[in-house]
Amino acid sequence: MLDGMGMRRFVAALAVPLVTVAPLAACDPGSSSEPDGEPTPSSAPESCGEDYLEDLDDRDRLAQLLMVGVRGSEDAITVVREHHIGGVFIGGWTDVSFLDDGPIGAMQAASRIPVMVAIDEEGGRVSRVAGLFGAIPSARESARTMSPHEVRALGRERGEQLAGLGITVDFAPVVDVSEQPDGGVIGDRSYSDDPQTVTEYATAFAAGLDEAGVLPVIKHFPGHGRASGDSHSGLATTPPLESLREDEFLPYEQMIGTLPLGVMTGHLEVPGLTPAGEPASLSPQVIDVLRSGDGGRWAGHDGVVFTDDLSGMKAITDRHPVPEAVELALAAGNDIALWLTTDEVPEVLDHLQAALNSGDLDAEQINRSVLRVAEAKGLLDCDPSSP
């Protein structure tokens, strides 16, 4: 959960001012207005969270939990204006002109609620803005050649560059603990095979992003670094749960609660935790471990939880079409379901609305996720666990 300063920094990074959502964010429980602006008696909601939810119909609540990859400015503006989605993702396929001065602001202006704008800017081989600002070292190279203080400054500098473009979320740093060769699926994206080194350097980079007003998202829970296989090409399997507790969980245990963070779940089967063949990203058991801090062993995460890509990775697509995968992800307790194209948005929203109407999606859980997302955007300063 973002603290007050973190929320102010996050809102400052948005391409349009917060006043664009004034009709939604009026947290005064004593008054309300009809669409024509005339004051009317209020139902006196007990919290600004309830007031916020009352201004969103079911479809708009669900749309706030979607983040989709966009091809460029026209694609982004259309999906935001027509479907009110909560976030867009800038990938390697996105037209770089979307990062010019203007397009992200135009997209924000098309939405009554500020839109999360996310990118996976890790450094090394995973970089979307190296062509604009120059390359930065991979995580492993950073740990080999730089101090944590220098990595924090690097994260702040890159974060300031991202924020200047209107980007508000970075799917970085990677906190997977791995000794894979540099070119492995995680490889040099990991700081080290030592959990303490990973924690120290990942905390530094994340703190730099936070100082720049960009929300860092650590990944890939519960840990991809020692998994057998690559979730891009099929379901990968981690070491057993007890082994994860000794290594992969340690960065989460030590980082959660120390600064504003999101967490991304991976498409990973976990012996001793997930049913056979079920990815962690779709598993209520895995989300419960993250929220509860592994049953109270460490501070639970009550910030936003994102899925990894649900449309371009065979660990998911071999088993579920996108609408079904999104439903399962939200039902499991993820707050934001991520996939790569806008084409499926109408079908996904139709599917989710039917699932909500039938009770397959829990309305209270959806409301909690909507409020977590709103708080991460800086729109609310209230407890999303008690809508």
Counting DSSP H helices and E strands in the chain, the numbers are: 17, 12
Task: Report yes or no on 322 lying in a domain.
Answer: yes
* Matching residue, tokens 């209230």: 382
Beginning with the edge strand found earlier in the chain, give each strand of the sheet holding 66-69 in spatial order. Answer: 305-307, 262-265, 215-221, 169-170, 116-119, 87-90, 66-69, 337-339
Strand locations in 74-212 (E): 87-90, 116-119, 169-170
What is the structure's pLDDT at 33? 33
Token pair listed for 145: 């050649």
In order along its 387 residues, the chain shows pLDDT tens digits of 444 444 444 444 453 333 334 334 333 323 333 333 333 332 323 456 889 999 999 999 999 999 999 999 999 999 999 999 999 999 999 999 999 999 999 999 999 999 999 999 999 999 999 999 999 999 999 999 999 999 999 999 999 999 999 999 999 999 999 999 999 999 999 999 999 999 999 999 999 999 999 999 999 999 999 998 788 878 889 999 999 999 999 999 999 999 999 999 999 999 999 998 899 999 999 999 999 999 999 999 999 999 999 998 888 999 999 999 999 999 999 999 999 999 999 999 999 999 999 999 999 999 999 999 999 999 987 654 544
Give me the catalytic one of 170, 176, 294, 308: 308
Q: Is 382 among the domain residues?
A: no
Q: What is the CATH number of the domain that holds 194?
A: 3.20.20.300
* 232 annotated active-site: yes
Buried b (16+ CB within 10 A) or exposed e, 279-305: bbbbbebbbebbbebbeeebebbbbbb
For residue 384, being part of any structural domain is answered with no
Q: How many other C-beta atoms lie within 10 A of the C-beta of residue 230? A: 17
Whether 385 is covered by a domain: the verdict is no
Q: 186 near 225, Cβ under 8 Å? A: yes
The model's pTM is 0.88
Length of the chain: 387
Closest CA to 249 of 235, 263, 259: 263
Q: Looking at 230, 232, 362, 381, which residue is catalytic?
A: 232
Known active-site residue 308: yes
What element of type H or E holds 8? Answer: helix 4-13
What would the pLDDT profile of 277-313 be if each residue is shown by its tens digit?
Answer: 899 999 999 999 999 999 999 999 999 999 999 998 8
Per-residue pLDDT of 14-39, as tens digits, reads: 533 333 343 343 333 233 333 333 33
Task: Give pLDDT, residue 229.
Answer: 78
Rounded distance between C-alpha atoms, residue 161 and residue 35, angstroms: 39
What was the pLDDT predicted at 47? 58
Q: How many domains does the chain have?
A: 1
Q: What is the pLDDT of residue 235?
A: 84
Give the closest residue to 24 by CA, choosing from 14, 15, 33, 13. Answer: 33
Give pLDDT, residue 218. 98
Please compute, for residue 363, the number of CA atoms within 13 A of its CA located in the half-sphere on the CB side.
Answer: 11
- C-alpha 33/C-alpha 181 separation (Å) is 60
In-domain check, residue 386: no
Consecutive H or E run containing 216: strand 215-221
DSSP letter at 100? Answer: S
Angle formed at CA 364 by CA 85 and CA 4, multiple of 5 degrees? 65
Domain that residue 213 falls in:
4-376
Does residue 241 sit within a domain? yes
